[in-house]
Structure 1
Amino acid sequence: MSWLVFSYSLPSKASSSPRVTLWRRLKRLGAIAFNSVQVLPDRDECLEAFQWLAQEVQKASGEALIMRVEQFEGLSDSEIVERFRAARRDDYAELATQATALASSPASDAQGDLHERLEKLYKHYADIRRIDFFDCPEGAQVMARLNQIAEDLTPVSEAIAIVAAALDQYQQRSWVTRPRPHVDRLACIWLIRRFIDPKAVIRYAKTAAADEVTFDMDKGDFQHQGNLCTFEVMVKAFGLDNDPALQVLGQIVHEIDLRDGQYRQPQTAGVDALLRGWLLTDFSDTALELHGIALFEGLYATLAQERAIPLGSSAPQAAER
């Protein structure tokens, strides 16, 4: 394994302010201190972060050096990884304590205040997760705790019965949905290409032909049911709801589409901003589809890796037109 090493020095007469600023920046980057140097895994984003930090040091009339190290004498890669995990373990432990305090809040506390506190904990989790380079197991435990608190704060809704869909009945079919696909429809398109029919033909129109499969339209085969978005309905209908990564993906799509505060995942805000940006750039339906497939495939791969589960068997492909 390769590592990035950052060494710097500031003028002896420099005020304490630049030193404190650099220390805080390094802490936010997730760097680990080894004697007088700072270490990060050899990744593009880490190298870029150190390069920006080096510029800050030079602006303060100091000197900075970035090195790539293949091996530390007397210290194995596994020992270094454990130091990173130990640092994140401490971060997650602090967050878990705050989550326990929130869960123990008196029932008389205002719901709005509880949701606001929970939102801050989710943001804190996202900050830790960003620098959890080696997937500390405690991270998944804390996220599960936060999601349980969110569920406890959400009013109970009636269970919705979803009619099962036989996969073989949806092969080599033509699908149709409304033009200008956004989050729910883009996620459905990815799901169709990923798990149902990689070569499905998908058309964008306000009306459907008699033999077409409709989704996320006013009437048709797959649409919102109760408080479930179309993506969640399709996941359940095709029996894919035992996939943990798809469950989290469904929560992200649900929150962006319905905005009911039922789920809070750290990726939601970024995905939402990206999708809105695509609409503002006036992409064509085909461009939105291709970008959406790439986005949700990458997101699914990340979520699956975090949960140490194998990816689905079918890879998304462009539709034949």
Structure 2
Amino acid sequence: MTSWLILTATLPTSPSGLRVKVWRALRATGAGALREGVYVLPEHAPSASALSALERTIVDAGAVAHLLVVQARDDAQEQAFRSLFDRAELYAEFLQTAKEARTRLRSATEATLRKTLRGLQTQLHAIQAIDFFPGRASDKAVDAMVALRREIELHLAPDEPSATAAAIARCEVADFQGRTWATRQRPWVDRLATAWLIQRFIDKSPTFIWLADARKCPKSALGYDFDGATFTHVGERVTFEVVAETFGLLGDPALQRLAALVHCIDIGGMPVDEAPGLEMLIRGLQARHADDHALLAAALSVFDACYAALETPSDP
């Protein structure tokens, strides 16, 4: 059975500041209310430590609070506790929002569609953060998010690659020097980041060409990020991740973090704090540079800066 945290709190009616603070903190943890002043949270919840901190906050404020660890006395009580964490209604609201977004897909601008995707991704992750017993409703929401993102990306870029199920074979950097690398023109974050990765970590003297039609990729070139390319999406991994894995580069923690950042912007997934800022910069570079070589030259400095920042330990 699940281990449960039970927080009991007796708060003064005035001043109201402490009550408001406690209410907001409880809402953030996703705790359920058994009755006024008695709250429950599964011990495995990521926010469990916040409930312990809240107990100390209440006591330090001169009020009364106790945090207990208990188990349900039987299956019926276990299910009663779990029912407090049924997020089906929240997922239904998310699905309705996603459905409405789909109806506006053809008429919305690219900026609006990408903003919609970010908003839906944030909404979904907020629900998942307090869904301690995920089930079918969660799966349906995730599937809907993936489908909508794919539909929008295909609308904005009909030549966006489909993921393959191929195994990622290891290659040696020494065998990939002085090569020509080809990808689709007007590169977005995955293609730009991959070009940066190639130039900084793989091929010391690469040549890049930008294809108006990926089907006409020269046979002598190494294609990336299009269907049939040498390097492209594999499973849930975007091309940057695939290339980094291919050349054994993901042992670098900064590259791991950059890979997560590129993944988040390109196809969604777990939110990354820096993603909106980098996305804005790349969009600005696209607006400023009509020539793809100039766009890459500008993007190299951006990714250099990102890598340096991710390489540098944050201040405690």
TM range (shorter): 0.5 to 0.7
Q: Distance in 1 between matches of 2:129 and 2:70?
A: 23
Q: Distance in 2 between matches of 1:72 and 1:130?
A: 27
Answering whether residue 119 of structure 2 is matched by residue 120 of structure 1, we say yes
Please tell me whether the aligned partners of residues 2 and 69 of structure 1 are also in contact (alpha carbons under 8 angstroms): yes
| Higher RCO structure, 1 or 2 (CA under 8 Å, sep 6+) | 1
Offset at residue 78 of structure 1 (A) = 3.4
Q: Which residue number in structure 2 is paired with residue 92 of structure 1? A: 91
- Choose which of 255, 261, 264 in structure 2 pairs with 1:256: 261
Please tell me whether the aligned partners of residues 6 and 38 of structure 1 are also in contact (alpha carbons under 8 angstroms): yes
Please tell me whether the aligned partners of residues 222 and 229 of structure 2 are also in contact (alpha carbons under 8 angstroms): no
Q: Distance in 1 between matches of 2:260 and 2:227?
A: 11
Amino acid at match of 2:21: T
Q: Which residue number in structure 2 is paired with residue 26 of structure 1? A: 26
Q: Which residue number in structure 2 is paired with residue 3 of structure 1? A: 4
Please tell me whether the aligned partners of residues 238 and 263 of structure 2 are also in contact (alpha carbons under 8 angstroms): no
Please state whether the residue corresponding to 2:267 is helix, strand or coil: coil
> What does the per-residue CA deviation read over 1:135-191, in whole Å, with 9 as the maximum and x for residues that have no partner?
132122112222222222222433769999799xx6xx874489xxxxx9xxxxxxx
Q: Distance in 1 between matches of 2:119 and 2:163?
A: 34
Map 1:219-238 to 2 at 5 A.
224-226=224-226, 232-233=232-233, 235=234
Please tell me whether the aligned partners of residues 229 and 258 of structure 1 are also in contact (alpha carbons under 8 angstroms): no
Amino acid at match of 1:269: V
Offset at residue 60 of structure 1 (A) = 3.6
Q: Which residue number in structure 2 is paired with residue 62 of structure 1? A: 63
Q: Percent identity?
A: 21
Offset at residue 69 of structure 1 (A) = 0.4
Q: Distance in 2 between matches of 1:113 and 1:62?
A: 48
Please tell me whether the aligned partners of residues 252 and 268 of structure 1 are also in contact (alpha carbons under 8 angstroms): no
Q: Distance in 2 between matches of 1:80 and 1:222?
A: 56
Would the alpha carbon gap of residues 166 and 156 (structure 1) be closer, same or farther in structure 2, given more than 3 Å must change?
closer
Q: Which residue number in structure 2 is paired with residue 80 of structure 1? A: 81
Please state whether the residue corresponding to 2:108 is helix, strand or coil: coil
Unpaired segments of 5 or more residues in structure 2? Answer: 177-189, 191-200, 205-219, 242-258, 279-305
> Aligned Cα RMSD in Å?
4.5
**TM-score, normalised with respect to structure 2:** 0.56
Would the alpha carbon gap of residues 81 and 277 (structure 1) be closer, same or farther in structure 2, given more than 3 Å must change?
farther
Q: Distance in 1 between matches of 2:52 and 2:147?
A: 40
Offset at residue 56 of structure 1 (A) = 2.7
- Choose which of 266, 269, 272 in structure 2 pairs with 1:269: 272
Please tell me whether the aligned partners of residues 255 and 263 of structure 1 are also in contact (alpha carbons under 8 angstroms): no
Q: Which residue number in structure 1 is paired with residue 312 of structure 2? A: 280
Please tell me whether the aligned partners of residues 251 and 264 of structure 1 are also in contact (alpha carbons under 8 angstroms): no
Offset at residue 96 of structure 1 (A) = 1.6
Q: Which residue number in structure 2 is paired with residue 299 of structure 1? A: none
Offset at residue 281 of structure 1 (A) = 4.2
Would the alpha carbon gap of residues 97 and 165 (structure 1) be closer, same or farther in structure 2, given more than 3 Å must change?
closer
Amino acid at match of 1:226: F
Q: Which residue number in structure 2 is paired with residue 35 of structure 1? A: 35
Offset at residue 41 of structure 1 (A) = 0.9
Q: Distance in 1 between matches of 2:239 and 2:137?
A: 21
Offset at residue 122 of structure 1 (A) = 0.7
Unpaired segments of 5 or more residues in structure 1? Answer: 179-183, 185-203, 208-219, 236-245, 283-321
Please state whether the residue corresponding to 1:67 is helix, strand or coil: strand
